[in-house]
Amino acid sequence: MSYTIGVPRETYPGERLVSLTPEVVGRLSKSGASVRVERGAGDTAFHSDADYEAEGASIVDRNGAFGCDIVTKVRPPSTEEIGLLHAGSVLVGFLSPLDEPEICKALADQGVTALSMELVPRISRAQKMDALSALSGIAGYKAVLVAANLLPKFFPLLTTAAGTVRPANVLVLGAGVAGLQAIATARRLGARVSAYDIREVVREEIQSLGATFVELEIAMDEMQDSGGYAKALMAEKAQQQTKLLVPFIGKSDVVVTTALIPGRPAPLLITREAVEAMKPGSVVIDMAAPNGGNCELTRPGETVVHGGVSIVGSTNLPAGMPVHASQLYARTVLAILQDFTSEAGFSPNFEDEVFAGACVSHDGNVVHERVKALLQS
């Protein structure tokens, strides 16, 4: 028995990724799936309809893509798109369950089994399914390139006949996947890099990349949760932290912020005072802009110039690298599909830690406890 997988074209403004690439479609086709790709779905990621057809896919209209047994997406579905899904179907993609839990409720009401890529547990077995880490690495890389392009200075040390050019000072706030990739990229470009994180456990990772670990005189205790994310600081410590960061921010040419806590507004790290301590021409890349931003002056989706300092509130840095972003994302989706499908189709398994952690709706109900709690509150 063959089952169908649909790949709709992403319609969210500025989104250029596609959920499955021709390479992954070919592997799914060989495993017995019938893949149906909406016409033009891969265009913005530089994959033509012909590329998909060469790997065994059928090119269909929008209804054809959403009418499949399993539908894969990048962005959370709109109300219109949820209406195109049929009861009993499966949706795999980013769903913003902790920020927009009502999407999960709408999917449950539609009778859809939905797996949220954001909620894949951070355990060893699920690393191949960790779409957040895959795209965070790309975002960290791209953030530094954007900063280097905006900064009116060289990143590396240069010795020329006209004199020596000193390297740029780059500060990275938050040393998760995005932050570590930002550190590595800035170092490869020749900058002098320092980094700060409230988790003492990442000190060695920061130093192993050739960056200096910034120490603040503030007691942190255990600041990492079971999922590897930084915990929220108490209000008093958070205020103390922002004050202590001001001199480090002030002497930086570039600051890249990456601090996010799932389901909460981004923590404030850069105050107006800190921005005003920076030299004109300096750059702040706020990777937490989708959740409000780590900088007090950030406007999501915009670049603000304050006192000559550019504050970039990019909300989708991976979209600037759609080829590799789509490639890595598609492989994480493939890993999910391989674990929970057979020749007969999709096989829900709530005894499986990964499935139970990622599944938000099933059989007409919201089944994820944290999402249910958010809906009730």
* Beta carbons of 266 and 260 less than 8 angstroms apart: yes
Where in the sequence of the chain do the CATH 3.40.50.720 domains occur?
4-119+321-372, 137-320
Does the global pTM surpass 0.85? Answer: yes
Give dist(CA 300, CA 314) in Å, integer. Answer: 6
**Residue of 133, 314, 327, 361 marked catalytic:** 133
pLDDT at 220: 56
Residue 46 predicted with pLDDT over 90: yes
CA 33 to chain CA centroid, Å, is 28
Using a pLDDT cut of 70, give the percent of the chain over it: 95
Q: What are phi and psi of 279, to 5 degrees?
A: -75, 145
Residue 229 predicted with pLDDT over 80: no
Using a pLDDT cut of 90, give the percent of the chain over it: 89
* Residues of the chain by 3-state class (helix, strand, coil), percent to 5: 40, 20, 40
**Residue of 122, 188, 299, 370 marked catalytic:** 122
Residues with Cβ < 8 Å from 164, sequence gap 6 or more? Answer: 157, 158
pLDDT digits (tens, 9 = 90+) for 263-301: 789 999 999 999 999 999 999 999 999 999 999 999 999
Overall average pLDDT of the 353-370 stretch: 97
* Beta carbons of 102 and 122 less than 8 angstroms apart: no
Overall average pLDDT of the 66-91 stretch: 98
The answer to whether residue 130 is catalytic is yes
Residue 226 predicted with pLDDT over 60: no
pLDDT digits (tens, 9 = 90+) for 328-353: 999 999 999 999 998 888 999 999 99
151: alpha, beta or left, given left = phi > 0 and alpha = psi -120 to 50?
Answer: beta
The answer to whether residue 127 is catalytic is yes
Residue 222 predicted with pLDDT over 80: no
Residue 230 predicted with pLDDT over 60: no
pLDDT at 231: 53
User: Domain 4-119+321-372 falls in which CATH fold?
Assistant: Rossmann fold (3.40.50)
**Residue of 51, 229, 240, 339 marked catalytic:** 229
**Residue of 3, 89, 130, 361 marked catalytic:** 130
Residues with Cβ < 8 Å from 148, sequence gap 6 or more? Answer: 155, 189, 254
Architecture of domain 137-320: 3-Layer(aba) Sandwich (3.40)
**Residue of 31, 48, 78, 127 marked catalytic:** 127
The answer to whether residue 339 is catalytic is no
